[in-house]
Chain A
């Protein structure tokens, strides 16, 4: 546990000294501020537009950070052989992967914390309230990010950083359209193609479980039991991807 914590701390240190982090962060803060003027365009639903815009920005910022920092970091560790510093010591590879994951998640969680403060500030400025619905939405975004980071680490152990970044983006997109896949395979006439779609549907997580933006924006409320189940769903998928990443890493020549 101590080793995982050490690797996580080193990863955290590395990410907070990475310029990409600040670029994405500034970009996200800029967009959230910009949403004030977007809200002005709407006569009756200024706060709702801002909430929708802010949550979408946080989701995309999280994705960008997971792709640029998460994928790049493990790829760089392998190409520059810096992971030798850790792995020539009596450290199992699964601890290295877990430490990397924890470090990235902590960094991104802190970023989400910062973005949430900016987001909450702008909502309050516009006369809205930072209610439990928004907290639930941000919690679910973080759970989604955990799944994306673990998937990006898995892809990084399997292929080159460029391809891993593309796969992670693809994973995000397909994950959000998983419901459509279900409809597609149910309507599919070709049994082979139907089987492929069905397999993809069951293997990949449905990232729409983490998307409660519409419910929050329209004030429909989000039950904490739903949040709890979704977080559990995300945690299980993260564990599965981390397990697969560890297996893949274990087989890899470094």
Chain B
């Protein structure tokens, strides 16, 4: 009847001081397996070392709640099994809140196929010097709907700190991402609202990407506003092969192949390679075999942001920024467009058809360069023409 005593504890929420670390893992895992709709799995105050993923599967209306950031610490430094710290799958209305999660061997918190997933007041981090041996994503909702990430902090991810992939209806707010390769990344996701966040000391602050060969093909309708995106000049420590490994150190915001993006009222400061990149997938140099994939960015508005950078060469050794440095020296323009437009969205005169243009207007300190990527970067040049949409 060992199990029944576990159930009793799960039910009454007795203090856990009596549990050894292995018992703690079993106790919390049992609660997560037995939890009924409406249940709260309480994580007590203290530091707990776990050796295996904690997983929640097939559940509705469950809250997993600690006693606060840096009060409840789940350390996976000694993890021997499982590819993430916490995994939530196939559920709805799940809330994770008020704890710190450290040093997962793979990803920090992965949630997949959850409708209604909230991450609130959680710090997920890799301690120590950021490096390629760190896990990929700190926060990793994928193929989820109604995602809320609020008052979270991501540190040290070797891919993206806050990563939302192949998901729909997303809010990322009041959160911090630093010392990751990418701070916040929205990938192949629809309808994301990213605001009131801070991203600093990443290689790239905020990324909005559409990639080929994925189940959810097309992202877009993403708003990035009222964020502080600054000092993202950290060396890019992503393991080769990952798409973020090709993000130049010194990138504030990068829009890659996505559509219907609004970027407004952000402070995009001192990102030394580019405040904002707008790129097609061709510029990554990777082959495209996915016939359903649209590699071009379109319908993009960049308005009312503040751009600043310190005089100086671009950061890092990425070939793209080396070219920028060669061309512009210490005064690299803030907004870099690779110049590749979707030919099917242009009229006979070579201009965007209505509603599909890239519009860059009324930004403080605005300056734009065209990489001329379609012609082998031969004619990299400042653009003085208007980037206003013509209706």
Answer yes or no: are A and B bound together in one complex.
Answer: no
